[in-house]
Amino acid sequence: MSEASIDLNQASVYINRELSILEFNRRVLEQARDPGHPLLDRFNFLIIFSRNLDEFFEIRVAGLKQQARLNRANPGPDGLLPQELLHRIGEICHRAVDEQYRLLNEVLLPALATEKIRFLRREECTELQSSWIKKYFREQVMPVLTPIGLDPAHPFPRLVNKSLNFIVALEGKDAFGRQIELAVVPAPRSLPRVVRLPDELTDGGDQHVMLSSIIHEHVSELFPGMSASGCYQFRVTRNADLALDEDEVEDLASALKGELLLRRYGSAVRLEVADNCPQPIVDYLLRKFNLEDDDLYRVNGPVNLARLWLSLDRPRLKYAPFTPAIPEALQKSENYFEALKLRDILLHHPFQSFAPVVELLRQAAQDPQVLAIKQTLYRTGPDSEVVQALAEAARNGKEVTAVIELRARFDEASNIEVANVLQEAGAIVVYGIVGYKTHAKMIMVVRREKNRLVRYAHLGTGNYHAGNARIYTDYSLLTANTELCEDVGKIFAELTGMGKAARLKKLFHSPFTLHAQLLALIDAEIKHALEGRPGHIIFKCNAITEKQIMQALMRASQAGVKVDLIVRSVCCLTPGLAGISEHIQVRSIIGRFLEHTRIYYFANAGDARIYASSADLMDRNLFSRVETCFPIEDPELRKRVLREGLQAYLQDRRQSWLLQPDGHWIRESIEGEGEADRLPVQAWLLDRLTR
């Protein structure tokens, strides 16, 4: 078969998106096993896996169940239909959850115990510890519990998404003579899920007891005169996607507030129960939540692992802290605007500090020559330094405009608060474009200098969230480049006003030009290869799912272009297929920091073109969001991005996973040479860039 006759639409060349997400979660779970990570960080990787899986069920599984229920087949390029996919997801998730609890019980808890960090079982407690726990239950837990007997007058309660609950089997009669056999006890979210015992009751280590153990031990006290013959923890996961028809909404913020309340009580998609729960009670719970056996997960441990994050003062068991660096050009300058007139500044987070981005806003807020500040906000918080700087600028009389994306998933409530804070300070707040999430990361500062207006800009690949900037890898570009800044100004005009799409000089932006420009750059690389010049494409992003981009990369491979893809999580393109994608290699880096940078590199016959972007290669980013993709034009900065952001990752042999033609990922061999191979790439960057 000739390359020209190969059908790039055939399902066999694509990997299902949901199954690719689960493969990513498996790689995260493997970090809990990896002795290369400090012990407490390994434990926390187990928690991250739980949180990832929770969101997967809340959004992805919920959506598939809805499609299956409505009989709306909506297969992706891989051709899998919802019902078949749900069956495969169930098989994978049951194996993964079993492995998660095996790691918890057989590997991590024993390892923590050797470090005198213990989670005590009820039978392990001393008499003094048991006495303290009983007092704690009566004084701190029992007053906020609400036991609910189940009878015709008290139907099964409406339980909040992912909340910890107990179903209790009872014997005897209550004060009204009722013989109630079952009761439900919800555990309020205000209660800590892990309780640390006082030092005087321990052997000098950190000893904890689970809230679930405390309630199990003393649950009979909630039912005086009756006895509890069994107490079993359970948790239900619900559909948490928002169903909001923006075309029918007059006030998006008010409508979202109502939807956020409904999110807590969406349709059930998963039931987790203690593994010792009797089958009749399990069947009863499944009926109450309208779930099937495949939706049931019996677990050997706490059902709410996502709430077990440990913050202990054990430096030896955690990654060493570090101080992110600040570029010398900014250290020597008290006025960032003067520094940016001399050169662009590139920050590689978290190895380099996010503080200069905040400082730019602070200086803008206080500078009498600054007239206006405009900024997009996707994920941040009302107490963040970024928001406080914008509020200060507004109070100081600057024209402050904030484009806030209220629909950033699971940050909707926080973003509504941000909007309120800024509006109260006098800023103009807009919510972007109906039907298009504003995901671009931009700041524009307008300053009067010698009777003319000069623009300064920040463009980033990550959110304006200082906490994320400590754990996510991202790029920030601070610039006074006239054309880049003009482009940023035009995009803000699109977001706040009306009119046709702006014609930009330097930036690509979704939903207008980014997709087409990336395809054109791939085609140019194909042309170089066909004309005998070496072709090379390197993409680093979080996900690749958009079909036309994947097909263009496969055509590039067929033309002999070397394609290296560094993809953190989801990749629906199958590499290594003869005659289709044999020149494509896909790797994933999983480590201490969450890889979040988006970089697009084209060799361009020796005149390399490098772009950084807020956008991944997904349909939603390219067609349903406002995104930016900005060139790295300074020659020295281009070299830095190529070396630090791409080549070092391709050389990594310690944190790399390689995607196989069968859709599975394998850990790369540690053998190999290269500067970055001496350390995991993230450790190498810490050593190279931090102080």
| Residues 6 or more apart whose Cβ sits within 8 Å of residue 397 | none
Element (H, E) at 286: helix 279-288
Amino acid at 377: L
Residue 69's φ and ψ, nearest 5 degrees, are -65, -40
d(CA 52, CA 305): 11
439 catalytic? Reply is: yes
- Backbone dihedral region for residue 579 (phi beyond 0: left; psi -120 to 50: alpha; all else: beta): left
- Per DSSP (E only), the strands in 306-450 are 345-349, 370-377, 399-404, 428-430, 437-438, 441-449
Closest C-alpha to 433, from 625, 627, 259 = 625
d(CA 491, CA 444): 10
Closest C-alpha to 404, from 390, 383, 418 = 418
| Residues 6 or more apart whose Cβ sits within 8 Å of residue 380 | 386, 387, 414, 415, 418, 463, 464, 465
Element (H, E) at 496: helix 482-496
CB 322 within 8 A of CB 353: no
Question: What's the maximum distance between 2 C-alpha atoms anywhere in the chain?
Answer: 90
Secondary-structure breakdown of the chain: helix, strand, coil percentages, each rounded to the nearest 5: 40, 25, 35
| Residues 6 or more apart whose Cβ sits within 8 Å of residue 70 | none
Catalytic residue chosen out of the listed positions 216, 439, 458, 465: 439
CB 184 within 8 A of CB 167: yes
Residues noted as catalytic: 439
